[in-house]
Structure 1
Amino acid sequence: MKLQKLKKLIKESNNIVFFGGAGVSTESGIPDFRSAQGIHNSDSGFGYSPEEILSYSFFTKHPDIFYKFYKDKIIHRDAKPNPAHQTLAKLEQQGKLKAVITQNVDALHQKAGSKNVLELHGSIYRNHCLKCDKYHSLDYIIKARATPECQSCQGIIKPDVTLYEESLNMDIIEKAITYISKADMLIVGGTSLTVYPAAHLIEYYQGNKLVVINKHHTQYDWKAFLCINKGIGDVFKKVLDS
């Protein structure tokens, strides 16, 4: 019944925006952060908590440890898009979906074919020297045996991934607010909606077709027109196959 409602809402809508979190990529084999098996609840192996390692201050003090953890836990270059990514790309191709707003840094939406993707927390595929701002590829980061250094100035390279203690890109935030505020349908999927300020963005939605798809309940379920407590990949696979 709920799946039929979702299909009907999508069919009737022409300005859909999707807001997603880590749960969108878990079905591609990428671990989330806050579940029992998530990164934050794992042993870093370095005597520091994962949250501490993924902070900007730790990166500046111990870039060697940061990169060992980052390469092992955050980079998943071989991960493939799942039905959630594929369905969203298809909806964009149909002209229904106007934007994907994601908290993920894996670029799986782009790999699936989505064009208009707003990456709130950056991307593992972009890396810049902190000294001269020169761009370096993900391959360059992976191949570096120790802390990656700039080829031009030997400065330390930082991934364009938002770490703890860093602010989000305000240009991306403003674009996300614009898309959400104009949407006739907002689909929120694979996120617990507990990470701020990103989670606050759905407050800008002014329509009456808010759909929340997540394995567990969220604090915004009461606002939703439709809640589906299942994995988003499973749900969207049925939408894609219909």
Structure 2
Amino acid sequence: MNRELQRLIEASNNIVFFGGAGVSTESGIPDFRSPDGLYRQKYRYPPETMLSRSFFDKHTAEFYDFYRGKMLFLQAKPNKAHQMLAKLEEQGRLKAVITQNIDGLHQQAGSKTVLELHGSVLRNFCMSCGEFYPVSAILESEGIPRCSCGGIIKPDVVLYEEGLNNDTLYQAVEYLRRADMLIIGGTSLAVYPAAGLVQYYRGNKLVLINKSETPLDNSANLILRGLITEELGE
């Protein structure tokens, strides 16, 4: 771990981590916006369109063809950053992980208080009766996955054109307001409304771990441009 980051952590007891795709890329999950990311690849429709609620409703089978091939990376394992965050929570220093990721790797690493702003691919539900299904219901089906009641199963992820969960947003705001240290990692803070949440942080120890610049660089106490597994990991 970076020495200055370690010093700030040791002087804090109410840390919140706010993370994005860069936390998961080092576990082998591709991001959206990098040169090799999803948005730079060629498809019949732009990825933003195929991951929208209107596309899901109108072209459900085609949505699932794309979703199964490009959004599910169940072989991925938590990396050193995930593991360090779980360790900091166990020590009582880290109070919450607020993540834009949908892969469940924070929980797999052992983190307990994880606020998933964009949902999780591991949870799925019937749009008719509300029955919940594991991700295997998506993987082991063909075409449109259906509930035993006949309804369509939808991933519990926030698609474009859908709003974030109000309860999750409220909890995130409360954790950020109380935090004495905020670590932002693996996100360029370009995705709203999620990125707008960091404005609720009132502390004076702001750390940014990201390969590229962010809108908060001028406000940060510490900026680290290396890999998050090296800067935050053991």
User: TM-score, normalising length from structure 1?
Assistant: 0.95
Output the aligned Cα RMSD: 0.9
String of CA shifts for 1:89-115, please: whole Å, max 9, x gaps.
Answer: 000010000000000000000000000
Whether 1:187 and 2:186 are equivalent positions in the alignment is no
- 2:155 counterpart of 1:159: yes
Q: How does 1:50-61 map to 2 (within 5 A)?
A: 50-61=47-58
Q: Find 1:112's aligned residue among 109, 113, 120.
A: 109
SS at 1:188's partner residue?
A: strand
**Superposition pairs for residues 139-178 of structure 1, below 5 Å?**
139-151=136-148, 153-178=149-174
State the distance in 1 between where 2:180 and 2:144 align: 46
Instruction: Name the TM-score, length of structure 2 as normaliser.
Output: 0.98
Confirm or deny: 8 A CA contact 2:2 2:232 kept in the other structure: no
- Aligned equivalents of 2:200, 2:232: Cα separation in 1: 24
What displacement does 1:233 show? 1.4
Match of 2:19 in 1: 20
User: Aligned with 2:123: secondary structure?
Assistant: strand
What is the Cα deviation at residue 145 of structure 1? 1.3
How far apart, in 2, do the equivalents of 1:105 and 1:43 lie?
23
Q: Which runs of 5+ in 1 are unaligned?
A: none
Structure-to-structure mapping, 1:1-242, within 5 angstroms: 3-44=2-43, 47-151=44-148, 153-237=149-233, 240=234
Cα deviation, 1:104-148, whole Å, max 9, x if unaligned, reads 000000000000000000000110111111111111110001110
Q: Which residue type is aligned with residue 30 of structure 2?
A: P
Q: Which amino acid aligns with 1:182?
A: R
Hey, what's the Cα distance between the residues in 1 that align with 2:223 and 2:177? 20
CA distance in 2, matches of 1:211, 1:236: 11
TM-superposed CA distance for 1:150, in Å, is: 0.7
Please give the secondary structure, in 1, of the residue aligned with 2:2.
helix
Matched residue SS, 1:64 = helix
Q: Encode CA deviations 1:45-68: one digit per residue, 9 max, x unaligned.
A: xx1111100000000011111111
User: How far did residue 36 of structure 1 move?
Assistant: 1.1
Alignment partners' CA distance in 2, 1:43 and 1:234: 32
Moved over 2 A (4+): none
In structure 2, list runs of 5 or more residues that go unmatched: none
Q: Any idea what SS the aligned residue of 1:101 has?
A: strand
How many angstroms does 1:3 deviate by?
2.1
Q: How many angstroms apart in 1 are the aligned matches of 2:80 and 2:152?
A: 37
Read off the aligned partner of 1:6 and give its amino acid letter: L
The Cα shift of 1:197 comes to: 0.6
In the TM superposition, what is the alpha-carbon distance from 1:35 to its structure 2 partner?
1.0
Q: Using the alignment, how far apart are the partners of 1:212 and 1:205 within structure 2?
A: 13
